[in-house]
Structure 1
Amino acid sequence: MSAPATTVASTGAAARAALGRWQFWIALLVLGAIVAVAMQLTSDRESRPYGLQNTDLNGYAALAQVLQHEGVTLHQARTAAEAQRLMQEHPEAGVVVLSDDFTPPEAFSAALRQRAAQEQTAVVWIAENTYLLEEMLALEGIWSALPIPSAATGIAETLSPGLHCQLEFARSAGSLQAQGETLSAPEGCFPIWEGEAGGEYALVPTDHGIAFAAPEAFTNRHITAEGNAAVGLGLFRAAAAGTVLSESTAPQDGDFASAQNSSSQLIWYTPGAAELLDVQQWSSPWDFLPRWFWPLAGWLLLGTVVGAVAYGRRYGPVVTEPLPVEVPASEAAEGRARMYSHSGAVTAAAAVLRNAALLKLARLLRLGRHPAAQIVAESAARHTGRPEVEVTALLQQQRPANHRELVSYAQALQTLDREVRVQLGLCRADEPSDASTTIKENDEQR
């Protein structure tokens, strides 16, 4: 019955010790989780990259303010249903579909492609990854190409309009500088290379609208670089004015002048994770995670590995050094017995006290290093005058069942040890015993 109590007590003590060692890191982890959840709940949609009201370096706030100053009314749509409603309310408005992680529902994309092909709506398709443009446009003969080259400092190469550029605003801008990708097409603007049969372009006119694969060009950080501002303002003002931007019907100078001087409508639609709720299919929970989740998870994993390596590194071999003091074996045995007593191991504590008493009596009676318990009992009985049966029962047979009996048993062993010392002349009969006094005080405290 005593072993389980010892195990439970040891496990609880180990758990408390581990909690004490790691409580700072646990509190830091909980605090970080609370801050992350609070930031996610309190952040609005415009804090995402390329948001019209995002004033960070990756936002479009500067472009949006200039467009509104030029008389372009911007209508933001967060879902395909909202964009469809705005298109019905403003049938002459142009549409911008900006995809950073998600694409619109296929039904909406197909309807928008049809309206663009029939020149009912001017559509601009923007994505930072060309495979998203391929999925949204669904055109043959146009596919993903190469990223725009960058220097060792991270500055993208400056692109010229090119020989096959049929868009007036792109030729007027003169240049484009931004990181992004290109599309391989027969004609387009701002190529990284081109030939007689076509090239790889950052801006491509199609039958379904304009495809643009370098959205970094219009961010607050890069809008003033080279001709980026002219490209963005010309592209979106023409789309807002209802000019169909395609290679077959390139706008003329008069169309752009009209677009700048009249009030225009532009529907700005950015697909998000909410679009997944509109399709009748199972969605993965990973699709709803914010963009910063994976970088944060990577850093946490790296920090965990580094911390584990640092915490588990070896300091070298164990160095032995003699202690400056000597601890008597009797004190060590008594301390172990008290430890067993505190943990509830009465039987184990009694065994330690009994073994310690046998060792001390054997040394006092000069019976050798490892005498049998019966020999020690017989010798102690002869010296003290006690019955041999009584001393044998005390040193071999008595088993305390609780703490009170354990205290009485310890006192009995101490009394026997003291009587032997008195008979051997090692102490006086009237000399007080510190050990007995301590045991009695502990018994009174219990």
Structure 2
Amino acid sequence: MSTAAPSAPSSPAPPETKTFRSEPASTAQRVGGVWRKGRFWVICTAIFVVLSIIGFVLANAGNQSTGTLAINNPAPAGAQGAAEVLRKQGINVTATDSLASTTQAISENGSGASTVLFYDPQNLLSTDQAAALSRAVQDAGGRLVAVSPAPLTAAQFSPDLASAGTVRGTASVSAGCSDPDAIAAGTLDGGSPALGVLAPVSLPINLYKGAETCFAPAASTAGHLAFNTTGDIVALGNPGIMINQDLANRGNAALVFRLLGSKPHLLWYTVSLKDIPVAEQAPSLAELTPKWIFPASSWLLLVAVLGMLWKGRRNGPLVAEPLPVIVKASETLTGRARLYQDARAVGTASRTLRHATLTRLARALRLGAAADPAAVVEAAATATGRPHQQVYALLLGEAPHTEREMLSMAVELTALEEEVAQR
């Protein structure tokens, strides 16, 4: 009988191998990955940089300004339109920003050749400087057109001029005088803010009185325009008639060009910080401090003292209150000892030690807590066999004067209590 050979056990299948491939690591692929992750912020940054550059270029193109009534400001509140029209008519328009440069230009232009437009919106020019400008213009035979001058400044320019307050804008106002420039203009824009289409601008309107007053609102003796007796000093209270957005309204342009174009040279003088005189030395703290600060401080200090005396809490009698927590006797003893040590209260600490020893000795000798100290001394001397004088000096004698003497006394008191306890 034949038997089949046992079959060899089958070998286990080899494990499945996995192939690992490296990630693409070329420069272009890495840059692409970074771009996909951060392209939003890169685009935003690029847009911001481009807009900033464009804004900077536009703001500085042609040396443009953003100031009101600036001759290089094309915005609605600027006066570039009036300046350019005057230049095309052959007028030499020059911008100045200091009294020194203005007076120098007046002298260089020659006699009777300059018109000075004065504009000081922040009222920086002093009265002495205003008087100097007026003299320079009149000595050179020029003309001064002051746009909304301050009351004191207008009075320094000419005694014939006086400020008469301000008025709200109206639709229009007629000349109402015999001046040829005002008659040629006919009516002026009253400064209504609704006249601005793209960017409405409303400038304050000041009224002035002079030897000749024009463009007076209804029921008013003061007007938008005032002249002195000779007509070489003019106060124009409505600066809005010469800004770009309102120049073409009604008779604004006619009045502006006739006032400013009568001389071959126009100096457009806008007061700046250059006109503020520089002090020879820095002001002291006392000079910078307002005059009212010391009286006010003294008054506040007095009120504070009176308030403290009136409402301040006064110390009343001591009130005995139970401790909110239970304190261990050892902690109380340690704390009290440290207080005595910090205060160098040798006498008080000695009396406390002696009193405690007498109390414990009276209890140990069965004399009672209210026993007389002399009786306790007599009983302790009898119980220990010590001389009476020695025990008396220890318990009732002179108190120690130093901490060393007090420590020695404490040791002797402890030894005495131990002898009484062992009897």
Query: What TM-score do the two structures reach when normalised by structure 2?
Result: 0.48
Task: Report which of the two has the higher share of helix.
Answer: 1
